[in-house]
Amino acid sequence: MEQNLFKSAFIQSVIFMLISIIIISITFFFIKQFISKKHKIEEFNTAYRITSAGLITSVFYIMSGLIVPVASTLKLLQNDKIWNYAFEVSKHVSIFILIGMISAFVIYFISIKMISYFSKGIVIFDEIKNNNIGMSILIFGILISFSLMLKDSITMLMESFVPYPEMPNLLNLN
């Protein structure tokens, strides 16, 4: 068994488990504070649960784009001293999580605004409060569609923060 590969895989697994816990905690906090409490929606409402599932699925799909940047960061910083390594990895992972979460919540707000714009006269959260499953499925579908379209761009944005080493300019081109 290759010990370095095993150690690297184990560290990545632990980091991604922690990232998942952080992401689900932030997402549930957002759902409770900005959807359930703000609009006074019961938590056992089926339409509310479908909408929440759409948001959670969207967030995790977008956040799956941080796998490659985090793995690259772990490999590139591997030779640092342990405390410097831990600090640098934490810093970069925090940036990736921040970019992903902000992007996911912006997608959520854009989706809600689009649905509101195209269904004039309908208050979306009143429909969810009244257990309108059709509205929640529409929200779910639009969230997932936006996530599918934007994930690669968001991943590219995250990759721009990976600490790649400077490449020498052998031709002295500016």
This prediction has a pTM of 0.85
Would you state the pLDDT for residue 83? 77
Per the domain annotation, does 59 fall within a domain? Answer: yes
Per the domain annotation, does 167 fall within a domain? Answer: no
Question: CA-to-CA distance for 51 and 139, rounded, in angstroms?
Answer: 6
Rounded to the nearest angstrom, the gap between the alpha carbon of residue 41 and the centroid of all alpha carbons in its chain is 24
Per the domain annotation, does 171 fall within a domain? Answer: no
**Total domains in the fold of the chain:** 1
Question: CA-to-CA distance for 154 and 97, rounded, in angstroms?
Answer: 11
Of the candidates 33, 10, 9, 13, the one whose C-alpha atom is nearest the C-alpha of residue 21 is 13
Q: Which domain holds residue 75?
A: 3-159
Per the domain annotation, does 172 fall within a domain? Answer: no
Per the domain annotation, does 169 fall within a domain? Answer: no
Per the domain annotation, does 112 fall within a domain? Answer: yes
Per the domain annotation, does 123 fall within a domain? Answer: yes
Per-residue pLDDT of 25-47, as tens digits, reads 999 999 999 899 999 998 889 99
Would you state the pLDDT for residue 140? 96
Would you state the pLDDT for residue 168? 73
Tally of residues, the chain? 174
- Residue 9, token pair as written in the block: 């895989």
Cβ neighbours around 56 below 10 Å, total: 18
Rounded to the nearest angstrom, the gap between the alpha carbon of residue 14 and the centroid of all alpha carbons in its chain is 18
Would you state the pLDDT for residue 165? 80
Per the domain annotation, does 139 fall within a domain? Answer: yes
Residues of the chain where predicted confidence (pLDDT) is lower than 50: none
- Residue 8, token pair as written in the block: 């690297």
Would you state the pLDDT for residue 138? 95
User: CA angle 50-56-60, nearest 5°?
Assistant: 145
